[in-house]
Structure 1
Amino acid sequence: MRYLPVCLDLHGARVTLVGAGTVATRKARLLARAGAQLQVVAPDIAPGLTQLLTEHGGHWREGEYRDADLEGSALAVAATPSSAVNAQVSRDATARGLPVNVVDSPDLCTFIFPSIVDRDPLIIAVSSSGQSPVLARLMRRKIESLVPAAYGRLARFAGRLRDTVKTAIPADTPRRLFWEQVMEGAIAEQVLVGREERAQAMLEERLADTERLYTGEVYLVGAGPGDPDLMTFKAVRLLQSADVVLYDRLVSEPILEMARRDAKMIYVGKQRDDHAVPQEQINQLLLELALAGNRVVRLKGGDPFIFGRGGEEIDQLAAHQVPFQVVPGITAASGAACYAGIPLTHRDHAQSVRFVTGHRRDGSLDLPWESFRSSNETLVFYMGLVGLPEICAQLIAHGRRPETPVALVERATFAEQRVLAGTLQDMPAIVEREQPRAPTLIIVGDVVKLRDSLAWFGGGAEPA
């Protein structure tokens, strides 16, 4: 990140604007809206800029720029047709320690103007770091369509009641949780439609309900198989609102980057024979964090209710009446199959699909092998890498053809995804040779044969 976004208070501050043409007028309007006192320096001035100075009380000094024009200024902007003059303004301002912007010359700037969505006092700035102003403006238009003008009214409502809420809820974390619930709930909706008196009454009623103020919430969120683009809108929204995030080893770094910067991140990953935090301790931690008033996201790879032990984690929350939500995610079977170009069901090859855990709670592979013999059913084994030789042997022993196609998908949906294809008979040797590493998923069935023709259209992963 080359530029740090900041918000400057320019109300009543003197700003030197060198240049008075069309481009300078656009900058002048923006600065005037921020309350700056404009000192314009140029031999000639555009009529629109003259009117702007009259309305906002600025001043135009007719003549060529000189270093003394920067005296007493908070920052400087150069917008002249002369590259030499612009460069001189940049050097002089930098020597004085003043922030300086030279229009269309990022190398001469110490700050740049972003594209702005103005919902005063809510301000949203979009910047391409000077690389593509057109793209920044395009993004601004997209954001404008998503943020109604009434959000400014909501910001003013919150500002007016900040002290009231702070008095009722002195602690920072419960207060932030309260405001997040207000901004995403019925109180905000009342403000957005102009019913501010009703909204204030609702807020005060909520503040009086002290039993509800200090209990947080828990969200079991499915992060999907790895690609951040596969997360749901709701999953992203809740992740970005969390005070604390508990995540496992299957959650990718790009997804973790979506969390709020000041959120507390707690790793509770588990893998075969190596549990960083025992499941019982995770359950207790979720409860304790919520009772302390935190908004907690339990972030899980795939889907929380498909081999994710989500049911165990909400049992204790429900017993203590802690509010929780479960947000489904794309399970690894769907992500791996799609990105590998393998349909899990197909009219000609498989009329059903079964998800199977690759090892039981005690680490054994005591599975109902007799029920897996149908050639019209696709089998998907989770966490089956270590047990793959036994899986293949047991399936053959219980009626599956040795030449039944098998695919092992390594790091599904990631850029480094790899697919190993073979049969029940030769897959153990292929795995021994290729040495894939977890996380992996095993797909068994005739649908795997379709991969050669569909892989390029599944998710962009190149066939291995």
Structure 2
Amino acid sequence: MRTMDFLPIFMNIRGQRSLIVGGGEVAARKAALLLQAGAEINLVSPELLGNLKDMHAEGGIHFRQGTFEEGDLEGISLVIAATDDEAVNRRVSELARARRLPVNVVDNPDLCTFIFPSIIDRSPVQIAVSTGGSSPVLARLLRTRLEAAIPSAYGRLAAMVEQFRDEVKTRFSSVNARRKFWEEVLQGKIAELVFSGQDGAAEAELKRAVAEGIERDSGEVYLIGGGPGDPDLLTFRALRLMQQADVIVYDRLISKEVLELTRRDAHRIYVGKERDNHSVPQDQINQLLVDLAKEGKRVCRLKGGDPFVFGRGGEEIETLTANGVHFQVVPGITAALGSSSYAGIPLTHRDYSQAVVFVTGHLKDGSMNLNWKGLAQPNQTIVFYMGLKGLPVICEKLMEHGLPADLPIALVQQATTPRQRVFTGTLGDMPERIASEEVKPPTLIIVGNVVKLHDKLNWYRSELMIEKGEH
């Protein structure tokens, strides 16, 4: 079995004197960590640079100007050498070791008795990642991946748990009973309340659970915005809930790349929602969510874009509320923002547009009875969702209400995915331009002078695809 190069431990240095030798930016970073851990810092250097000057001015460190001397080690509990002089660093290490003081020499593991890991701070929860000094860059990359998987709310959850530890010990006499209780708390409704920012409700529920025991969760619905298609645009919270759901209810607007990030063994239910071909009517989808939750399932209702921007999320949570089903809503990047960004078309611009309005091109009764006069305003960008079928009517009505025939317009197909295509034209010629094209939904229509910037700014899309290895 391979031995460890370093023993992973957490050291309490609160109120203890630490010595830093060095006065540059590396020393400043180490000083900031020690201050965060509550240490008293003595620092020795010929001069102070950058942030160390501010720390000294604020009284955070005790500074002695000069070179390192053996007497600097008196009364010290921990030592850091952070100079650019290898001879000085080696001398600090040797003298500290002789006194059996823990010592770190930056970027030289051979001279260290301890090293600084890459830290994920969710205080009081802390996670340290280390490669034993062999590759700090790899440790940083691993930390970044873990950061994405561990919500910042875990710190608040841990602090709440700490408040109830003694009560739980009194309530449950055996270790196994306490373990089972905390597993239910940390993986169930109480934890989710904290993650969704409802700390007060979580604390009340935890207090009730300590007194009465935890009832088996009756199920929950996660109404998640899946964004416009690129999985990189999902929020951390969306990804976490997608990977813990028992059932995934999704429709045509969810890209295959996003769907692949859901839990592998979850049951997937496709509900269609194609234009003019709703394979499952909305009222049946609403009831399906209720029924699944009441079976005790954790249900991910995965919706394209944002659930509350033409996503009918409001209708779904009305039904959930009426049936007493607990739910969470996770916002997503709506199609207008994703499409405009990846197409190089800002929705507002000081020179072209001072307002933007989102409108659906398809009403509940199938009509397009819109406020055309309000839409046909100068210096305004109009974004039409679900407007592909009604494009000729959109162009005709906007011109009829005063917008010029040469006003630019763009149609973005399957935005933010490798299948994205952008068609540009004017109100006067756009229907004819796409008549011979095979345009595939979902699409978004952007009307306004900001479309003039597409050719100039569309480098972003091409650069992004090159970076991802897509062509």
Q: TM-score, normalised by structure 1?
A: 0.60
Contact 2:188–2:217, Cα closer than 8 Å, also in 1: no
C-alpha distance in 1 between matches for 2:274 and 2:342: 24
Question: Which residue does the alignment assign to 1:399?
Answer: 402
C-alpha distance in 1 between matches for 2:178 and 2:254: 40
Among 200, 206, 211, the alignment partner of 1:205 is: 211
1:14-413 pair list within 5 angstroms: 139-140=141-142, 142=144, 179-181=187-189, 204-205=210-211, 207=213, 210=215, 213-413=216-416
Structure 2 gap ranges (5+): 9-119, 121-126, 130-134, 162-167, 169-173, 196-204, 466-471
Return the offset for 1:136: 6.3
C-alpha distance in 1 between matches for 2:283 and 2:194: 36
TM-aligned CA distance change 1:319 to 1:454, over 3 Å: same
CA deviations on 1:330-369 (whole Å, 9 max, x unpaired) are 1100100011111111112111111111111122222222
C-alpha distance in 1 between matches for 2:227 and 2:142: 29
Contact 2:220–2:327, Cα closer than 8 Å, also in 1: yes
RMSD across aligned positions (CA): 4.2
C-alpha distance in 1 between matches for 2:194 and 2:175: 16
Return the offset for 1:373: 1.7
Q: TM-score, normalised by structure 2?
A: 0.59
TM-aligned CA distance change 1:141 to 1:340, over 3 Å: closer
Structure 1 gap ranges (5+): 1-16, 18-23, 31-116, 118-123, 127-132, 169-174, 188-198
Contact 2:413–2:420, Cα closer than 8 Å, also in 1: yes
C-alpha distance in 1 between matches for 2:325 and 2:429: 50
Contact 2:407–2:449, Cα closer than 8 Å, also in 1: yes
Return the offset for 1:402: 0.5
CA deviations on 1:106-165 (whole Å, 9 max, x unpaired) are xxxxxxxxxxx9xxxxxx9x9xxxxxx9986554455678799x99xx9xx9xx866778
AA aligned to 2:369 is: D
AA aligned to 1:446 is: N
SS state at 1:337 partner: helix
Question: Which residue does the alignment assign to 2:39?
Answer: none
Contact 1:177–1:293, Cα closer than 8 Å, also in 2: no
CA deviations on 1:388-427 (whole Å, 9 max, x unpaired) are 1111111112211110100000110001211111101111
Return the offset for 1:442: 0.5
TM-aligned CA distance change 1:185 to 1:433, over 3 Å: closer
CA deviations on 1:271-313 (whole Å, 9 max, x unpaired) are 1111121100111111111222222221100010111001100
Residue-pair matches, total:
327
CA deviations on 1:163-185 (whole Å, 9 max, x unpaired) are 7787x9xxxxxx97983346667
Question: Which residue does the alignment assign to 1:50?
Answer: none
Contact 2:189–2:217, Cα closer than 8 Å, also in 1: no
AA aligned to 2:375 is: F
Question: Which residue does the alignment assign to 1:10?
Answer: none
Greater shift, 308-317 or 346-355, is seen at 346-355
Contact 1:177–1:216, Cα closer than 8 Å, also in 2: no
C-alpha distance in 1 between matches for 2:311 and 2:146: 39
C-alpha distance in 2 between matches for 1:337 and 1:399: 25
Contact 2:357–2:380, Cα closer than 8 Å, also in 1: yes
C-alpha distance in 1 between matches for 2:457 and 2:277: 37
